[in-house]
């Protein structure tokens, strides 16, 4: 089993930040819910894997996509589940922002522990492994880091005034994903392209390279996740 002290994956965190207003509004709504909501919501969480099994079978999802969807949805629902508990606690006792963040993490760890022991979810171990694995989606492969110095000349080409870095990166990723290469080859092309543009961002915008790489991968998640085999190849690098 993966370490149960597992926080939400960066994709879930990124999407929650993108929808900060929605999350805030939900927090207000959950605070107004009647007692017993979390018990009912837990039953929904338990039913999700089976529901996705049926949807996946009907739509012909490959196993890797089905497992990825289970992991991402579990992470997202777990965060919402914790939001509700924390909101209840805040109604009982005022907290500083630091205390709120610490309590949120503790509650999420408790959620993972409860999920781990939920026998009604027959594939919970695989789902938790996938949840842990998703954290590696934004980590550059060691092969890329070792070869960064070799593509500085390419970087110079992208530093011309007026160059649209984001559009170029998206086009390059789309080209890589639409190629007929094997998933592992596509995966490295994607990582290389994002790494290259992170270099450009670092030199032209003064952005930290790792942060630029992580943001690039997160921003391209929807495009990359449309090919689950490629996404898993990235996480396996």
Distance between CA 189 and CA 172 in Å, rounded?
9
Evaluated on CA atoms 226, 198, 135, 46, the torsion sign reads negative
Give, for 132, the enclosing helix (H) or strand (E).
Answer: helix 124-134
pTM score, two decimals? Answer: 0.74
Distance between CA 55 and CA 50 in Å, rounded?
9
Is residue 218 within 8 Å of 173, Cβ to Cβ? Answer: no
Is residue 209 within 8 Å of 198, Cβ to Cβ? Answer: yes
Distance between CA 185 and CA 233 in Å, rounded?
9
pLDDT at 43: 93
Per-residue pLDDT of the chain (237 residues; tens, 9 = 90+): 444 457 787 888 777 776 666 656 665 665 555 557 778 889 999 999 999 999 999 999 999 999 999 999 999 899 888 888 887 777 777 677 778 788 888 999 999 999 999 999 999 999 999 998 888 888 888 777 666 666 655 566 655 666 677 787 788 888 889 988 999 999 988 888 888 888 878 877 788 888 888 888 888 888 898 999 999 999 988
Structure tokens at 140: 């550059």
pLDDT at 2: 45
The rounded Cα 78 to chain-centroid distance in angstroms is 13
Structure tokens at 180: 């007929």
pLDDT at 19: 66
């Amino acid at each position: 089993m993966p370490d149960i002290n597992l926080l939400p994956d960066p994709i879930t965190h990124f999407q929650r930040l993108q929808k900060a207003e929605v999350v805030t509004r939900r927090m207000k709504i959950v605070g107004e819910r009647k007692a017993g909501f979390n018990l009912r919501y837990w039953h929904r969480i338990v039913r999700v894997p089976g529901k996705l099994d049926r949807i996946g079978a009907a739509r012909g999802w490959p196993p890797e996509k089905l497992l990825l969807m289970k992991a991402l949805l579990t992470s997202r629902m777990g965060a919402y589940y914790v939001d509700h508990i924390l909101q209840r606690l805040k109604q009982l006792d005022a907290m500083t922002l630091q205390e709120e963040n610490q309590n949120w993490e503790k509650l999420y760890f408790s959620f993972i522990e409860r999920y781990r022991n939920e026998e009604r979810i027959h594939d919970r171990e695989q789902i938790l492994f996938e949840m842990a694995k998703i954290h590696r989606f934004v980590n550059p492969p060691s092969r890329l880091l070792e070869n960064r110095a070799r593509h500085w000349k390419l970087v110079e080409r992208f530093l011309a005034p007026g160059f649209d870095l984001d559009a170029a990166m998206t086009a390059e990723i789309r080209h890589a994903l639409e190629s007929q290469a094997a998933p592992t080859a596509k995966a490295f092309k994607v990582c290389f392209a994002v790494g290259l543009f992170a270099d450009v961002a670092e030199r032209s915008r003064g952005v930290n390279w790792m942060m630029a790489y992580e943001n690039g991968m997160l921003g391209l998640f929807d495009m990359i996740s449309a090919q689950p085999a490629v996404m898993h190849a990235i996480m396996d690098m």
